Amino acid sequence: MKNLKKVTATLLGGILLVLVSCQQGPKKEEPIESKAAVEQERVEPPKGIISLEESKSLYDNYTRNRLEIIQEYEAQRSPEKEFEAARFTSFSYADIKQYMDYIEQESKDAQVDISSLRFYFANYPDKEDFPDGKKIVHPRQNSIFIVPTMETPDGEYGFYIGEDGKAKLIKNAVGETAVGNASKNGNRSYASFAPSFATPTLQQGKSLNMNQGGSGPPPWGDF
């Protein structure tokens, strides 16, 4: 009798277990996150993006309105030296990324926000080396250099990092000149066509300006 009760209890327990399992149903697998959800959010094109047609038009305008004048000037300046005007300046993608990381690091340390990047037109001197000893690959060529800017109560200006680790305005370090600087009344004077290579004595500090990219005359351009 006791054995019968044990068998009965065991059977009832098994039946109840099966019923409970059936009511719960099969265990659902965790949903796999969709591929679109894990992909990085798409970036909208900046408003400054231009078409290939407009790019070609701008390139051709420079050819018609600037290139011939530069060639004539350089031919008169140094008739004995062959010269071909540059059409672009390039920096490697890795260098640009490093530059962006560097100026963000330095501006963060100086507790200042970068407002914009200015691309200044430049012209290399007719010399073999830069002041830092690096070779000038294309003497007399036009180029650009990049300057980060910051907002001030008086406007937006390029800055560098002073010896005290704080952001300083470049215009206060190099001194304002009449060449290309706007006066208080809004009038502006411009440099003569001949470049000046005079280098003022500057205050010490850490420059954030970038230059010495690769310049290229035709036929290595894209247009």
- Rg of the chain's alpha carbons, rounded to an integer? 33
pLDDT in tens, 72-113: 898 888 888 888 888 888 888 999 999 999 999 999 999 999
Region 194-203: mean pLDDT is 43
Q: Specify the range with the lowest mean pLDDT, choosing from 6-10, 120-124, 165-169, 187-191.
A: 187-191
**CA 148 – CA 210 distance, rounded (Å):** 9
Bridge partners (DSSP) of residue 158 are 149
Condensed to tens digits (0 to 9), the pLDDT of residues 173-183 reads 887 553 344 44
Q: How far apart are CA 197 and CA 106, in angstroms?
A: 29
Q: State the chain's mean pLDDT as an integer.
A: 74
Q: Within 13 Å of residue 172, how many CA atoms lie on the same side as its CB?
A: 10
Please give the residue that has the higher pLDDT: either 36 or 206: 206
Between these two residues, 134 and 62, which has the higher pLDDT value?
62
Encode burial over 50-75: b for 16+ CB neighbours within 10 A, e otherwise. eeeeeeeeeeeeeeeeebeebeeebe
In degrees and rounded to multiples of 5, residue 36 shows phi and psi of: -65, -35
Cα gap 212→136, rounded to integer Å: 8
- Of 201, 202, 217, 199, give the one whose Cα is nearest residue 130: 199
125 preceded by a cis bond (ω within 30 of 0): no
Confidence of residue 194 (pLDDT cuts 50, 70, 90): very low
Instruction: Indicate the pTM of the whole model.
Output: 0.66
The three-state secondary structure class of 135 is strand
Distances from the Cα of 209 to the Cα of 5, 133, 158, 165, 190, angstroms: 92, 17, 9, 16, 23
Tokens for 165, please give them: 């680790």
* pLDDT tens digits, one per residue of 112-147: 999 999 999 888 888 888 777 888 878 888 888 899
**Residue 204 CB contacts under 8 Å (≥ 6 apart), including other chains:** 163
pLDDT band at 3 (very low <50, low <70, confident <90, very high): low
